[in-house]
Structure 1
Amino acid sequence: MSDIMKKLHEAAEYVRQMIGEEPVSIGMILGSGLGDLANELEDSVAVPYAKIPHFPVSTVPGHAGRLVAGMLGGKRVLVMQGRFHFYEGYGMDTVVFPVQMMRVLGIRNLLVTNAAGCVNTSWQPGDLMLISDHIKLIPDNPLRGINISELGERFFDMSTAYSEKLRAMAREQASKLGVVVREGIYQLFTGPSFETPAEVRFARACGADAVGMSTVPEVIAARHAGMEVLGISCLTNMAAGILDQPLNHEEVLETGERVKSTFSALVKVITAAWPV
């Protein structure tokens, strides 16, 4: 067994001891300003990241930094209340460690959420976007190095990184709920600085509808491990240069707070309808 697999098993065993042996249907990662959903789980058990062997610790405002297991929409879920980012100083392999641990726990479904800057000028802050695809132009990759064959093959397909079946289900549930959801492409920038207006124009020319500093590494690791992925972006602000105003993290958190009831309701109905 490789060193990384040993660490993954040690982390997974600790989490299993804390949350119990009952299987988990869906793993979830909640981004900036969206973590309150974890407080709505029934029969929940919370595990601080700092207590999990080999786990990194989140340093970003708006990220509570704990795993929460419980029932949501009739299914048992394991929620990351806050995530890890490349800009915090972690390597890409560390950023995706929790996702790989989820797979070791037997989880085969992943919902990833994030707060993102809106590049599509036809949309507005507060909109929710189903991620149909992503763009990663930065050179690093969370799977660079020796392949962990216990998780997946060295070379793997990313043509349907975000499940078409799950997106169709999410659209149907949003329609029933009366929530308008956008659908588009998310482009990764490393942060922590916000993108420049020129970079936003470049992203739009590349076909991106939203930009952000997370999600893509986790999705790459999840797909490598054979997990089905659904991604939702909360478009918290117009990206740089679209409006004549500076960007700040407070706006991200404020918009997340404004839409959290809609976001929570949508995730609940999606979870209830998720085929597992």
Structure 2
Amino acid sequence: IITDHINLFPENPLRGKNYEELGPRFPAMTEAYDKRLVAVAEDIAAKKGIRVMKGVYVGTQGPTFETPAEYEYFRIIGGDAVGMSTVPEVIVANHAGMKVFGVSVITDLGGKDVTDVPTHEEVQKAAEAAQPYMMEIMRELIEREG
């Protein structure tokens, strides 16, 4: 469950002319991921026996797997997981005043001492294996909050 993010994308999706009717020029990002939705999702997971973890997502441009030094850097700056999506969408959603819940599947482990590099196919298989659990949490979260 994503509780916050670190934006390392080279561009911000809000650059350019701002239309006030769509949201403020500088939206607050102090609670980019709604704490209440996080708590509800944790409750759902606990009741269903689904193991979840919370953490900070680092958004990068990709498309590459990270180097051991990059993984170490992301850890040092406060990241728990890294991916190539989510952050721009969350920025825009907050700009529009939406409450956001974010979840990410950890498909492979990286770090300065990790030498086992997954294939793209292995990453896809790990995501497919987690999909039913994510759907279970999301379905009930929508039923409770929707």
Give the secondary structure class of the aligned counterpart of 2:66. coil
CA displacement at 1:243 relative to structure 2: 2.5
Given that 1:189 and 1:195 are in contact with CA atoms closer than 8 Å, whether structure 2 keeps it comes out as no
Matches within 5 A, 1:22-171: 130-171=1-42
Report the equivalent of 2:73: 202
Tell me the amino acid that sits aligned with residue 249 of structure 1. Answer: H
Report the equivalent of 1:180: 51
TM-score, normalised on structure 2? 0.93
CA displacement at 1:169 relative to structure 2: 0.6
For residues 198-234 of structure 1, the C-alpha deviation after alignment (integer angstroms, 9 at most, x for no partner) is 0110000011000000000000000000000000011
Q: Distance in 1 between matches of 2:19 and 2:113?
A: 42
Q: Distance in 2 between matches of 1:242 and 1:166?
A: 35
Which of the residues 60, 80, 85 maps onto 1:214? 85
Report the equivalent of 1:265: 136
Gaps spanning 5+ residues in structure 2: where? Answer: none
Given that 1:194 and 1:247 are in contact with CA atoms closer than 8 Å, whether structure 2 keeps it comes out as no
Give the secondary structure class of the aligned counterpart of 1:269. helix
Which of the residues 241, 247, 250 maps onto 2:118? 247
Q: Distance in 2 between matches of 1:242 and 1:177?
A: 34
> Whose Rg is larger?
1
Given that 2:10 and 2:61 are in contact with CA atoms closer than 8 Å, whether structure 1 keeps it comes out as no
Give the secondary structure class of the aligned counterpart of 1:230. coil
For residues 141-195 of structure 1, the C-alpha deviation after alignment (integer angstroms, 9 at most, x for no partner) is 0011111222101111000000001001111111111112100000011001111
Q: Distance in 1 between matches of 2:36 and 2:19?
A: 28
TM-score, normalised on structure 1? 0.51
Report the equivalent of 2:64: 193
Given that 2:56 and 2:79 are in contact with CA atoms closer than 8 Å, whether structure 1 keeps it comes out as yes
Tell me the amino acid that sits aligned with residue 51 of structure 2. Answer: V
Root mean square deviation of aligned Cα: 1.3
Number of aligned residues: 146
Which of the residues 86, 94, 101 maps onto 1:223? 94
Structure 1 stretches of 4+ moved >4 Å: none
Q: Distance in 1 between matches of 2:97 and 2:7?
A: 20
Tell me the amino acid that sits aligned with residue 57 of structure 2. Answer: Y
Give the secondary structure class of the aligned counterpart of 1:222. helix
% identical equivalent positions: 45
Tell me the amino acid that sits aligned with residue 140 of structure 1. Answer: E
Greater displacement, 247-256 / 182-191: 247-256
Q: Distance in 1 between matches of 2:131 and 2:24?
A: 38
Gaps spanning 5+ residues in structure 1: where? Answer: 1-129
